[in-house]
């Protein structure tokens, strides 16, 4: 079946990105892996390439293209090469939708030019120690000052990807207590300058996978946030989070599909080159059957991912559909990558092989952005169960 998701512009972009990865990422990726993060300077190169401004309006320095398909190309090409762009993914996939949805014209003028240029990298701080997926249970507070000029932020966050390099952090905090009728009431969103007094970055977390992304703990002690940096309306933060979770979950779904596709590519190349018992591993019937099954699963995941992309671009991707896409694609990736690693034998366990890194990177897909169990709960509720 002919794929219809991408057009000539997307394929031209793909060629540019593939060449960029080969020149700027592959030669130094082992250094990033060892350091546990991509260097901050690399993000300026992505900005120069135009990656950060694709979906930003032209008046703020962007390309003004209202589509996620170029980001889909990025997912496919980084997975294909067995690399990542560090923690920069949250800048566009997580940060930008909140600015576009909630920022006033004045805020957009302040935020977006530096967003596009890479001068200010963005991330979002939702999860707290002890709360996990229960965002309504957050305890970080933001209290309005007596003179009404600023909020005072106190609390802590964890598992914040992009947390080390971020210049602007969207922080979710309580501006009012939850009610008996609605635990989600009282959450607001703030754009916090990470250089503000009382804002601190704690440990850079040592993760199982995604080694080149900077994931950290954050702490806020009497951080003053100007009222001009409240994003959207007070106490409506949980609604805003729910609105933008669809695009976040699309990103995880599409990224997982791209990883599965890459795993088949890595395994196919390996079994064709590796000789055992006098013949290539690819010559054994079991190898052929395993890869054929994996390819069939990847084909199905591609169809789901592409359909979700079209729906997202059309503004029609529902929370339940996003949850379904995430659940399906991440579970497919889990199975396919595991089987492709098995075909590598002992070498699949070595980090010098991309399949090993892919195996570790993929595991979090069924956890962040909402666990698989949360996805099933959303889907079941949509089914009326």
- CATH number assigned to the domain comprising residue 133: 2.40.110.10
Asked if the structure places residue 333 within a domain, the reply is: yes
Chain position carrying tokens 């591609």? 302
- For residue 3, is it within any domain? no
Question: Is 1 part of a structural domain of the chain?
Answer: no
CA distances from 356 to 112, 235, 321 (A): 37, 44, 31
Inside any domain, residue 178? yes
Check residue 223 and give its pLDDT.
Answer: 98
- Domain end point (choices 234, 254, 283): 234
**Per-residue pLDDT at 380:** 98
Same domain, 37 and 57: yes
Q: Under 8 Å CB-to-CB from 14, ≥6 apart: which residues?
A: 6, 73, 76, 77
pLDDT attached to residue 183: 87
Asked if residue 132 and residue 65 are part of one domain, the reply reads no
Host domain of residue 253: 239-383
**Residue 236's closest CA among 372, 376, 60, 102?**
102
Interatomic CA distance for residues 362 and 343, integer angstroms: 17
**Residues forming the active site:** 248
| Angstrom distance (rounded) from CA 340 to CA 362 | 13
Say if residue 113 is in the same domain as residue 126.
no
Q: Final residue of a domain: which of 92, 117, 142? A: 117
On whether both 135 and 191 belong to a single domain, the answer is: yes
Provide the pLDDT for residue 134.
75
- Whether 2 maps to a domain, the answer reads no
CA-based radius of gyration for the chain: 21
Asked if residue 321 is part of any domain, the answer here is: yes
Regions of the chain with pLDDT less than 50: none
Same structural domain for residues 100 and 139?
no
* 133 shares a domain with 229: yes
Q: Angle at Cα 82 formed by Cα 80 and Cα 85, nearest 5°? A: 100
Calpha distance 8→74 (Å, rounded): 15
153 shares its domain with 274: no
Q: Chain-centre distance of CA 44, in angstroms?
A: 19
E strands in the chain:
122-125, 141-144, 150-161, 168-174, 187-193, 199-204, 215-226, 230-231, 275-276, 279-280
User: Do 136 and 101 reside in the same domain of the chain?
Assistant: no
**Tally of structural domains, the chain:** 3
Domain check: are 347 and 362 in the same one?
A: yes
- Residue 300 to residue 306: CA distance in whole angstroms: 10
The answer, as to whether pTM is greater than 0.75, is yes
Looking at the structure, tell me whether residues 244 and 324 fall in a common domain. Answer: yes
Can you say whether the dihedral through the CA atoms of 26, 81, 363, 247 is positive or negative? positive
The answer to the question of residue 346 being in a domain is yes
CATH number at residue 36: 1.10.540.10
CB 273 within 8 A of CB 127: no
In a domain, 316, yes or no: yes
Tell me, yes or no, whether 72 and 154 share the same domain.
no
Could you tell me the two tokens for 139? 């305890």
* pLDDT at residue 182, rounded to an integer: 85
Closest CA to 235 of 173, 193, 180: 173
Question: Where among 234, 267, 294 does a domain terminate?
Answer: 234
Question: Per-residue pLDDT tens for 92-117?
Answer: 999 999 999 999 999 999 999 999 99
Q: Check whether residue 21 and residue 78 sit in a common domain.
A: yes
């Amino acid at each position: 079946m002919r794929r219809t998701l991408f057009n000539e512009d997307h394929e031209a972009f793909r060629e540019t990105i593939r060449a960029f990865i080969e020149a700027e990422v592959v030669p130094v990726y082992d250094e990033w892996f060892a350091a546990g993060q991509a260097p901050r300077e690399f993000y300026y190169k992505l900005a120069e390439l135009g990656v950060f401004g694709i979906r930003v309006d032209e008046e703020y320095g962007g390309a003004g293209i209202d589509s996620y398909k170029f980001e889909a190309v990025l997912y496919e090409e980084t997975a294909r090469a067995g690399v990542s762009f560090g923690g920069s993914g949250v800048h566009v996939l997580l940060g930008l939708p909140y600015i576009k949805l909630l920022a006033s014209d004045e805020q957009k003028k302040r935020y977006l030019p530096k967003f596009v240029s890479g001068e200010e990298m963005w991330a979002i701080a939702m999860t707290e120690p002890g709360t996990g997926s229960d965002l309504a249970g957050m305890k970080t507070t933001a209290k309005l000052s007596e003179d009404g000029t600023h909020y005072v932020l106190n609390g802590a966050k964890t598992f914040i990807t992009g947390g080390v390099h971020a210049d602007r952090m969207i922080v979710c905090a309580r501006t009012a207590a939850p009610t008996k009728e609605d635990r989600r009431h009282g959450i607001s969103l703030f754009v916090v300058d990470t250089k503000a007094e009382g804002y601190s970055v704690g440990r850079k977390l040592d993760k199982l996978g995604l080694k080149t992304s900077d994931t950290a703990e954050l702490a806020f002690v009497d951080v003053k946030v100007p009222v001009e940096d409240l994003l959207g309306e007070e106490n409506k933060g949980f609604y805003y989070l729910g609105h933008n979770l669809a695009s976040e979950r699309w990103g995880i779904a599409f990224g997982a599909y791209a990883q599965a596709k890459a795993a088949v590519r890595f395994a196919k190349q390996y079994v064709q080159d590796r000789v055992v018992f006098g013949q290539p591993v690819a010559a054994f019937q079991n190898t052929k059957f395993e890869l054929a099954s994996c390819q069939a699963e990847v084909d199905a995941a591609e169809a789901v991912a592409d359909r979700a992309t079209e729906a997202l671009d059309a503004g029609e991707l529902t929370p339940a559909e996003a949850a379904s896409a995430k659940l399906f694609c991440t579970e497919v990736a889990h199975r396919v990558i595991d089987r492709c690693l098995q075909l590598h034998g002992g070498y699949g366990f070595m980090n010098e092989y991309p399949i090993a890194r892919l195996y570790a990177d993929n595991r979090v897909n069924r956890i962040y952005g909402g666990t698989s169990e949360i996805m099933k709960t959303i889907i079941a509720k949509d089914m009326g169960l």
